[in-house]
Chain A
Amino acid sequence: MSKAGIKIENVHLSFGQTEVLKGVNLDIKPGEFFAFLGPSGSGKSTLLRAIAGFGPNPKGRILIGDRDVVGLDPWVRNVGMVFQSYALWPHLRVRDNVAFGLKERRVPPEQITSKVDAALELVDLADLGDRMPNQLSGGQQQRIALARTIVVEPEILLLDEPLSNLDASLRVQMRRELLRLQRQLGLTTIFVTHDQEEANTTSDRMAVLDGGVIQQVGTPQELYDQPSNLFVANFLGTANILEGHVETDGDQARFVTKTGDILSLPQGGTGKNIVLRPQNIFIRQQSSANALPGKILHREFLGSQVRYLIDAGGAELVVDQTHGGGREWFDTGSEVYLSANTANAVVI
């Protein structure tokens, strides 16, 4: 199958007076599984729909391969899109749903039959061709929607929140399925989601969007470990953020919180905040050098972990401790000292 990259250059888009996309630039490589991650209203779905040709025409350029598709009608773009609601036509049998795009492309009937069979085989639903869509489960409908889209061999595949209408266990199974299919077909794929776990587990790279602006682009691990701003830090996983400033003394760098507590840093940096993940903070009963004094406000038992809410350094910090067994817990109200693994911390 053909592989095409996608280049998005300075795309602006407004609904009436409201500007939804404010200058988006992106470069998606051929064959990449790329995620748009962001809260609702961030513009991620709008951007996806603009690539497919739905909604108002954006300003800027959207290149699929080396063809600028801005202004083209959706039906000439050869972009495959799977809708959040699946959008299976209830009056057509599963087989006819899948065959629809082939018929529009005037593919000869005998080829249609074999291609439809192959597509149904690919999504593992070869024997459901004669059902009506409303006789299928949510997961099956999802697969049919996928089969209907890939059977026409689009240049790129767009998935708009494809898992959001499925229940939790099915979601995990489907996202593995999606990834398997994408690898098998090698199709450049964009996956829109508001669920960081979905984005983390499937995508090669992702873009975090907020307020119509791309906040950061990178691999899931880069974005988690090295968030470039507080929004990304907060949106991906739980982030403890302490305000303060960096002081350097020779080759010794340290972060001074607004309460005057000190955390030593492996290297200097600029920024008014330090981001600490919950698993990188440790609770001690005794004070030591560079330890933050704190008070335990709340404790939750989560099974594999015990989560504490601790008042320290002028903020309420979330600290996770692995629970191996037994009951070696700190009680609510007790005074403790926190040490942080600042090698994995980010100052921004």
Chain B
Amino acid sequence: MSTTQSDRADRGLADRLPNALVPSLSGLHMVALLIALLLLGLLVIPVAQVIFVAFQDPATGAATLQNFADFFATSLFRESFWNSFYVSAMSVVVATIIALPLAYITTRFHFSGSILIQSLGFIPLIMPPFVGAVAMQLIFGRNGTINLLLRDYFGFTIPFMDGLNGVILVQSIHYFPFILINLSASLRNIDRSMEEAAQNLGSHGLRLFRRIVFPLAMPGYIAGAALVFIKVFDDLGTPLLLNVNNMLAPQAFLRISSIGISDPMGYVISCILVVFSVLSLWASFLVMRGKDYATVQKGGGGTAKRELKFSEKVLAYGVVIFILLVVLSPHMGLLLLSFGTIWSFAPLPDAYTFQNYIIMWEGSKTYIINTVLYAGIAATLDVIIGTAIAYIVIRTGIFGRKWLDYLATAALAVPGVVLGIGYLRTFHSVDVPFTGEPLASWWVIIALALMIRRLPYALRACTAALQQVSLALEEAAESLGATKRRTIQKIVLPLMTGGILAGFVTSFATAAVELSATIMLVSSNSDAPLAYGIYLFMQTPSGRGAGAALGILAVIVVAIGTVASQFIIERDKKLKTSNAVH
């Protein structure tokens, strides 16, 4: 609405007035330069280093394609490549099968279960997938609850969790909300008149869905599907925990951690991961371009919703409850595991206890403190840098300001494993001042890696927050005699607080459970964060209970974070609309 218009006007103004603004913005120039250097050192150089090494002969240092030739000559790597691709594609398919009915039912019908789906459907996202993986083993595994029951009553089992199947199941259950969110949003944005016009011309039912509704929802679906594909392709934690090592990310990790940082294969794999990430983002960008199908508009009638017949209602509830049961099974499994004594070859744990929580609490204090420290530093830096970039991009004419935005956003396309390997390679020869230990094994580097990983999300939150602050509010302050600096302090930042806070909370909560980058960078147990702790606990059967307890803690942290950030955004929105800032 008026935000985009004023935003465009703001940029136009900034473009027209760069010279007039420059003298008063020398401070902002310094800030921009500092951020550029930071992004260069912590993102561009490490990733460039990884790519460089991949094309370098390890012995002579000369440029070569030999590493790639070696990679594709090794059957294990070819298999890993194919497996990663297969698992990602299948995860998209399974996630679609889960998300499509949920999205369709909630957006097209008056269905009292809609709120249930909208809230429960997002719960998978608040649990790191590798945490759920162990619980899924216990429920769907060869000797898990379901298969034990199937064997006892029907005499057969289903290999849900065997090998790649397990990864696909865990990943699609974890990531389907990306498709659900995007697809629901697209479906909701289709104006009622779009469907009514088709009905008016004689179309209905499945034909109507196939010819009008689904094509219109396509951009949202593609965006969600591309995201799922990349996330699964890059993910390290889940295959590692399920002990599926013949995939790309685990191979990269294993090569680097067992053979060392001079082994070129880890870099070749990293290169491939980056290329695929960039390609899928690019592909989804191409598909989306010029296809903003949001058609709810003036004179339209909003979304078409219709009542369900009784039989349809029963069917809809059946489908929804079944899907939700499957989707929430990791959480239930994890909860049971955390309260269970021994759970092995049995549909449910043998007995229940609080013991795991006590063990977890005593064994994980360091992890928890480290997590709060790392995620706190990462999230704080994220919102500071995010706010600065947002301001520089939207409100100033500083040369190359767009590139700050692009750079920070480019972190999206860098898998955690790749960033981790890049840091190891780049910083292992750099010493920390005074202590003399290598920078790569200093704990601060973990926090910085998390900061870079979460920056794109924080930046989006800050940009959105700034776009809501009308330029006229700043001009009013300036015309009353406030300097640029005072205006930012007294007007802009206070008005952005809600958005910034939401960005902080989200960054904190998701950084707290990040594994891919940290697993590469943790050099000693005393530096390890929570996610790494869960990973260690889960390595031994006796540690699973405590690991699950720690997992539950992680879920609670992320859940509180998500709810809090939603709350802040909603409250902020209400405040802004009641003030009618347009």
Chain A interfacial positions (CB closer than 8 Å to B): 52-54, 73-76, 79-81, 83-85, 87, 89-92, 100-101, 104-105, 134, 148-149, 152, 161, 164-165
Given A90-B216, A161-B299, A165-B299, does the pair A100, B193 have CB atoms closer than 8 Å? no
Q: What separation, in Å, do the CA atoms of A104 and B212 have in the docked complex?
A: 12
B212 and A74 contact, CB distance less than 8 A: no
B215 nearest CB neighbor, chain A only? A91
Provide a sorted-by-A list of 12 A–B residue pairs whose CB atoms are within 8 angstroms. A54-B199, A74-B199, A81-B200, A83-B193, A83-B299, A83-B300, A87-B197, A91-B218, A100-B211, A101-B203, A148-B201, A165-B298
The smallest C-beta distance from A260 to any residue of chain B, in angstroms, reads: 50
Q: What separation, in Å, do the CA atoms of A91 and B218 have in the docked complex?
A: 10
Give the residue of A90, A104, A134, A161 whose beta carbon is less than 8 angstroms from that of B202: A104
Q: What separation, in Å, do the CA atoms of A162 and B193 have in the docked complex?
A: 13
The smallest C-beta distance from B376 to any residue of chain A, in angstroms, reads: 45
Q: What separation, in Å, do the CA atoms of A89 and B295 have in the docked complex?
A: 9
Question: Max chain A CB contacts within 10 Å: which of B211, B215, B290?
Answer: B211
B142 CB within 8 Å of chain A: no
Chain B interfacial positions (CB closer than 8 Å to A): 191, 193-194, 196-204, 207, 211-212, 215-216, 218, 290-291, 293, 295, 297-300
Given A85-B299, A164-B299, A165-B299, does the pair A75, B202 have CB atoms closer than 8 Å? yes
The smallest C-beta distance from A161 to any residue of chain B, in angstroms, reads: 6
B212 and A89 contact, CB distance less than 8 A: yes
The smallest C-beta distance from A10 to any residue of chain B, in angstroms, reads: 25
A158 nearest CB neighbor, chain B only? B200
Q: What separation, in Å, do the CA atoms of A17 and B204 have in the docked complex?
A: 29
Which residues of chain A are near B295, meaning CB under 8 Å?
85, 87, 90
12 further contact pairs, Cβ within 8 A, besides A81-B197, A85-B295, A165-B298: A52-B196, A54-B199, A76-B202, A83-B193, A87-B193, A87-B295, A89-B194, A90-B291, A101-B201, A105-B202, A152-B201, A164-B299
Given A74-B196, A83-B196, A164-B299, does the pair A90, B293 have CB atoms closer than 8 Å? yes
If over half of A's interface residues share one DSSP class (helix, strand or loop), that class is named, otherwise mixed; here it is loop
The smallest C-beta distance from B316 to any residue of chain A, in angstroms, reads: 21
B216 and A73 contact, CB distance less than 8 A: no
A162 nearest CB neighbor, chain B only? B299
B191 nearest CB neighbor, chain A only? A85
The smallest C-beta distance from B290 to any residue of chain A, in angstroms, reads: 8
B299 and A152 contact, CB distance less than 8 A: no
* 3 A-B pairs with least C-beta separation: A101-B201, A84-B299, A87-B193
Q: What separation, in Å, do the CA atoms of A100 and B293 have in the docked complex?
A: 18
The smallest C-beta distance from B421 to any residue of chain A, in angstroms, reads: 42
The smallest C-beta distance from B206 to any residue of chain A, in angstroms, reads: 13
B197 nearest CB neighbor, chain A only? A87
Which residues of chain B are near A74, meaning CB under 8 Å?
196, 199-200, 204
Which residues of chain B are near A80, meaning CB under 8 Å?
200
Q: What separation, in Å, do the CA atoms of A41 and B299 have in the docked complex?
A: 13
Which residues of chain B are near A53, meaning CB under 8 Å?
199
Give the residue of A75, A92, A161 whose beta carbon is less than 8 angstroms from that of B200: A75
Q: What separation, in Å, do the CA atoms of A165 and B191 have in the docked complex?
A: 16
Question: Max chain A CB contacts within 10 Å: which of B201, B290, B297, B299?
Answer: B201
Given A85-B191, A87-B194, does the pair A100, B203 have CB atoms closer than 8 Å? yes
Which residues of chain B are near A148, meaning CB under 8 Å?
197, 201
B196 and A54 contact, CB distance less than 8 A: yes
Q: What separation, in Å, do the CA atoms of A94 and B153 have in the docked complex?
A: 59
Which residues of chain A are near B193, meaning CB under 8 Å?
83-85, 87
Which residues of chain B are near A134, meaning CB under 8 Å?
290
A134 nearest CB neighbor, chain B only? B290
The smallest C-beta distance from A104 to any residue of chain B, in angstroms, reads: 4
A91 and B293 contact, CB distance less than 8 A: yes
Which residues of chain A are near B191, meaning CB under 8 Å?
85, 87
Question: Max chain A CB contacts within 10 Å: which of B202, B203, B297?
Answer: B202
Which residues of chain B are near A92, meaning CB under 8 Å?
215
B200 and A104 contact, CB distance less than 8 A: no
Given A91-B218, A165-B298, does the pair A104, B201 have CB atoms closer than 8 Å? yes
B200 and A79 contact, CB distance less than 8 A: yes
